[in-house]
Amino acid sequence: MQSNSAKDDSDEMEIISSEHNGTVHDTKNEDSGDIHRAEENQKSNIDPNLYLYDDDLATRPHISTFISSIANYENTIPAATDPDAKPPAPSARMGTLIGVFLPCIQNIFGVILFIRLTWVVGTAGAICGFLIVLTCCCVTMLTAISMSAIATNGVVPAGGSYFMISRSLGPEFGGAVGMLFYTGTTLAAAMYIVGAVEIVLTYMAPWASIFGDFTKDADAMYNNFRVYGTILLIFMGLIVFVGVKFVNKFATVALACVIFSIIAVYVGIFDNIHGNEKLYMCVLGKRLLKDIPIDNCTKDDSFMRDIYCPNNKCDDYYLNNNVSKVKGIKGLASGVFYDNVFPSFLEKGQFISYGHDSVDIENIGNESYNQIMADITTTFTLLIGIFFPSVTGIMAGSNRSGDLADAQKSIPIGTICAILTTSTVYLSSVLFFAGTVDNLLLRDKFGQSIGGKLVVANIAWPNQWVILIGSFLSTLGAGLQSLTGAPRLLQAIARDEIIPFLAPFAKSSKRGEPTRALLLTIVICQCGILLGNVDLLAPLLSMFFLMCYGFVNLACAVQTLLRTPNWRPRFKYYHWSLSLIGLTLCISVMIMTSWYFALLAMGMAVVIYKYIEYRGAEKEWGDGIRGMALTAARFSLLRLEEGPPHTKNWRPQILVLSKLNDNFLPKYRKIFSFATQLKAGKGLTICVSVLKGDHTKIANKAVDAKSTLRKYMIDEKVKGFCDILVAQQIGEGLSSVIQTIGLGGMKPNTVIIGWPYSWRQEGRNSWRTFIQTVRTVDACHMALMVPKGINFYPESNHKIGGNIDIWWIVHDGGLLMLLPFLLKQHRTWRNCKLRIFTVAQIEDNSIQMKKDLKTFLYHLRIEADVEVVEMNNSDISAYTYERTLMMEQRNQMLRALGLNKKENSKVESHNDEKRNSIDSDGPEETDAPETTSSKDESTEKADSKFKSNVKPDEFNVRRMHTAIKLNEVIVEKSQDAQLVIMNLPGPPREVRAERESNYMEFLEVLTEGLEKVLMVRGGGREVITIYS
């Protein structure tokens, strides 16, 4: 880097105004040399090409520093760790197939597929069964679309739906739904355990019953399920407690069993296309019988007569109907599908029979003999509730987001593909089962008519044990996964400290296991097992999952409708209407399935919500409810008063400082158009103008000016408020407006002020007002936007194409990234492409810097071309010295000659004779100033004196060098851009006229040759985030 030695500034003068005589005195600044030497020592390491931004680099890092600091961020929430513990091994980075698709497949396919789907098809018929499965799949697909939008809106730490809802809708909703999701997962473990016991006792080892023949007594069957379920729960709880590694390894085995079992079923369906002779049922008239050996299935057999004719008194139905043998597996070629098209819903206690004739289905007498009866009343909605758990498990991918190589890509693709795959299997299974199996056998829930065999197992190839063993192991694996995941979810909720009474469950054992949460989970799971019936557990846990899915859809709809600037999902195939349809479906299915279970789940959510609200969860996660408060009234204002909005809710609340001309008309009309185009952020806009004078004397003019300002806002479709302030001094009036405008949380955070195009001609007052405003905005920690060339900006009803170029020199909160995104939401800029340029310093690795910047933009969900500009560390040119000397000579001549405003304008016109000029409402396009030979005698003498005695100040030379070099690069790259957005360098810290005038000159040089420029200065806080 070039050596920047300190200059002795003892010749530098300072302006001291004398208010009594109006003259200007020149004095020596005795301390200036020491000040400059200190500055030079502190800033000797600054790249000469960036010296103009040296005052900002202490608090606003250079882009290379910022990018390198966030390039290797962690996309998980940091958990409480033991300082003495060994660092954990880095987690494996999984792809879409292993990390999302297969876990979702494993969690979606469950016990219902094997032990209840055939019964659902037989009871509901092919048409209604298809609609039941389709409805459930639509709920999960719409939820997956909403979840994909949320999961790709930044980095989602592990936590699945709980994290997404709590960070989108707030801690109250998050805590309530998190507890519902935890309860649902725990009850799912109970259902899997009861299902596994049912498979073993009913189809594999019926001899193990400890309560007698359960085929004749349903209560005995459920008591068996309760006892064996409790034993199995204790065994599985010990496995989870002792060895989680075993659970994870067993998951692979369970997944293989599921996939192989489904393949075996499909192969068996086509292998038995013409049916098989394995299964025959005994049918009396149209009623299905059980416990009848097929060889005794004849009316003449004494076995049948002994059953139906006790004491030589025969049953009337037995006397009036014949007994027949019916093949159970008829095959696709048989045409049995047409017998299974329509539903056969029954009430509890009715006989399973062909048709709907009351003679066949009603139990007129008190004896049922060995005829199979419906054990529950079936309806379309009840079957939805029973089947729905078989489509849950879609959150498995998002729960593993911390272990995914690219979560924003893998979660949508893997989850949606898994849902499409499982939905295809379910829907095709409905049609295949209806076309293969006899109607009576489909409706025989426990296979009692075929000797207690599982219908699906007898369809499969090569034999039934493939399905029995496979379904048992897969169900066992799903139960272990639930028992493993539920305690960790409870621990995550407890660690968030939003539900105080859960605090004890936040602690882990020495091995890092959530032991306390596991014990509570086992207790709740045992309560579910005591129900003893899959048909009761399934609708109950469906309520909790439906509530959870409903809130995922609600979160997506709220974020989309609010149009929060941080809502930038990489997944584009979503819409708020789809989310609302998904929410409506969830609520409808809940109420239709079981209104009392629905009320139970909703009541539980309301109680937890009010409890969290009452205890005051002091959490700020940038949720959508807090964002909605920005548009609400008193209640929301009070909530917003609690503190500044979260980074995710930050949006530009704009204060437009509009300058009025002599006719009290806004001087720059297009500044309102620009504010409108930024309103994609749905923020608040306040337009204010300051009049100089005494309010008591010009109150009427102020009213007229406000009406005019309002008219301009209406014409340009600016939604907001306007006001006029009358003050003795314009600068003081602007300072008062910036400090006091707004109410509570509705205070503006962004100021738009026009560029003082005629600052040279009007003397120092105009640029002094401008710089004073910049300083005030900076002191109030507000963002500042200075559009230069405002008259060339597009109208709001125009559409333009081209590039929006962002020159990102220093990081000041990410406002430079957010503004072009907001502009592109407006139709005027929608067709423009973003290009981001940043400057590499000498020691920077520009290739790595470009790679890191692309990664950063990817996680910001912003699409833009990236270019890292390498600026050569060239020597300061003679032109730079000449330009700096001209600037200093101008200041010195003005000071020495004591010129007033009129003379100032005269000298300015001589010095800038060859500058391009436009009307007073437009910007100036300035070229390098040239000296002229048409100076008057006194000016000529002063000029010759300064030329001989004064050298350019090194302090100014460096800044001029930065301005010229950056301008050359920017003009070369972005001259044809529709808009150039760049960092606005900070104003000089010293309140000295020469420094302030030089600052304005630097900005003019920096933006020369550019038609439309937006200079931006952040407010010192982050306004954009990579997190969801």
User: Which band of pLDDT confidence, cut at 50, 70 and 90, is reported for residue 528?
Assistant: very high
Average of per-residue pLDDT across 483-489: 86
375 falls in which pLDDT band (50, 70, 90)? Answer: confident
Residues 790, 1014: Cα–Cα separation, whole Å: 9
- The arithmetic mean of pLDDT across residues 341-365, rounded, is 88
* Mean predicted confidence (pLDDT) in 801-818: 86
Q: How confident is the model at residue 519 (pLDDT cuts 50, 70, 90)?
A: very high
Concatenated DSSP letters of 642-682: TSPPPGGG----EEEEPPB-TTS-BS-THHHHHHHHGGGG-
Note the pLDDT tens digit of each residue in 909-965: 444 443 333 333 344 333 333 333 333 444 344 444 444 445 667 777 778 888 888
pLDDT at 956: 76
pLDDT at 35: 44
pLDDT digits (tens, 9 = 90+) for 137-151: 999 999 999 988 888
pLDDT for position 758: 77
- In this prediction, residue 656 has a pLDDT band, given cuts at 50, 70 and 90, of very high
Cα–Cα distances (Å) from 423 to 7, 318, 598, 718, in that order, read 77, 44, 25, 48
Q: Is the pLDDT of residue 385 over 50?
A: yes
Q: How confident is the model at residue 419 (pLDDT cuts 50, 70, 90)?
A: very high
Q: How many Cβ atoms are within 10 Å of 341's Cβ, its own excluded? A: 13
What CA–CA distance (Å, rounded) separates 554 from 577? 11
**What whole-number distance in Å separates Cα of residue 1007 and Cα of residue 1012?**
9
pLDDT at 99: 82
The pLDDT-based confidence of 1019 (bands split at 50, 70, 90) is confident
Per-residue confidence band for 244, with pLDDT thresholds at 50, 70 and 90: confident
pLDDT over threshold 60, residue 75: no
CB 725, CB 733: distance < 8 Å: yes
* pLDDT category of residue 858 using cuts at 50, 70 and 90: confident
pLDDT of residue 997: 79
Q: What does the pLDDT average to over 997-1015?
A: 88
pLDDT surpassing 90 at residue 981? yes
Rank 68-82, 270-284, 361-375 by mean pLDDT and report only the highest.
270-284
Percent of the chain predicted with pLDDT > 90: 24
Highest mean pLDDT: which of 233-237, 447-451, 767-771? 233-237
Burial (0-12, 13-18, 19+ Cβ within 10 Å), 227: middle
116-125, 270-279, 744-753: which is most confident: 116-125
Q: How much is the pLDDT for 166?
A: 73
> Nearest CA to 233 among 511, 483, 56, 412?
483
What was the pLDDT predicted at 260?
A: 92
Mean pLDDT, rounded, for 442-455: 89
Helix (H, G, I), strand (E, B) or coil at 88: coil
The percent of residues above 70 in pLDDT, for the chain, comes to: 77
pLDDT (tens digit per residue) in 875-890: 566 667 677 777 776 6
Does residue 268 carry a pLDDT above 90? yes
Mean pLDDT of 14-22: 36
Exposure letters 403-439 (e unless 16+ CB within 10 A, then b): bbeebbbbbbbbbbbbbeebbebbeebbbbbbbbbbb
Mean pLDDT of 725-734: 89
Cα angle 17, 19, 20; round to 5: 130
Range scoring the smallest mean pLDDT among 72-81, 825-834, 996-1005: 72-81
- Give exposure, 797-822, as e/b (b: 16+ Cβ within 10 Å): eeeeeebbbbbbbbbbbbbbbbbbbb
Q: Which pLDDT belongs to residue 579? A: 94
H-type alpha helices, 116-213: 117-151, 160-169, 171-198
pLDDT of residue 952: 65
